[in-house]
Amino acid sequence: GLTGGIGSGKTAASDHLATHGIAVVDADVAARQVVAPGQPALARIAEMFGRQLLLADGSLDRRALREIVFGNPEQLRRLEAITHPAIEAELQRQLQAAASPYAVLVSPLLLETRQHRMAQRILLIDAPETLQLERASQRDNSSPTQIQAIIAQQMARAEKRKRAHDILLNDGSLA
């Protein structure tokens, strides 16, 4: 299990492992796959929150859904009761299909969700907050204030460090 805060370098680290032939399974990708048109989780979301969330092409109106759950813990809980088990099942499926000696599950929410139970070892990609802000705001072309707000929502760095088996301090060059 590979995790870390926004802009810590999870993708940079897992891309490197992939070049060594290690199977990489990405929770963000799985989260999008399970709400693709035709998926049961999407139908359940439309049932629970309204069919107006389906765009003309049958895909999910993510912005409208975000507006419903933003700042509303009860609605967020109802949404996650649909999405989290579907994501977990998809991750299990992809991990089981891996043919490399071990597989890596990359997830920004590995420790915040039940996903960490799927991993035998947890690798934290750790970076000082100033670097997280710099790297993520440059990459996403967003303001450090927006990145700061996301960092504030994520599990504290110190807490993650306590729960990881291995820590890769990503404060130098990529090499």
Considering only CA atoms, give the Rg of the chain: 17
Cα 40 from Cα 21, distance rounded (Å): 32
- Using CB under 6 A, which of 1, 30, 108, 110 touches ligand ATP? 108
With binding defined as CB under 6 A, does residue 4 bind ligand ATP?
yes
With binding defined as CB under 6 A, does residue 173 bind ligand ATP?
yes
CB-CB contact of 126 with 169 (8 Å)? yes
| Helix (H), strand (E), coil (C) string for 45-87 | HHHHHCHHHECCCCCECHHHHHHHHCCCHHHHHHHHHHHHHHH
Shortest Cβ distance from residue 78 to ligand ATP (Å)? 25
CB-CB contact of 2 with 123 (8 Å)? yes
With binding defined as CB under 6 A, does residue 11 bind ligand ATP?
yes
Q: Whose Cβ is closer to ligand ATP: residue 64's or residue 131's? A: 131
CB-CB contact of 168 with 125 (8 Å)? yes
**Cα angle 70, 129, 123; round to 5:** 90
With binding defined as CB under 6 A, does residue 135 bind ligand ATP?
yes
- Using CB under 6 A, which of 56, 99, 158, 174 touches ligand ATP? 174
With binding defined as CB under 6 A, does residue 99 bind ligand ATP?
no
Reduce the DSSP state of residue 34 to 3 states and report it. coil
Beta bridge partners of 24: 104
- Using CB under 6 A, which of 1, 2, 7, 90 touches ligand ATP? 7
With binding defined as CB under 6 A, does residue 113 bind ligand ATP?
no
Q: Which stretch binds ligand ATP (CB under 6 A): 31-39, 57-65, 69-77, 131-139?
A: 131-139
Segment 137-156, which members bind ligand ATP (CB under 6 A)?
139
With binding defined as CB under 6 A, does residue 136 bind ligand ATP?
yes
Q: Which residues bind ligand ATP (CB under 6 A)?
A: 4, 6-12, 108, 135-136, 139, 170, 172-174
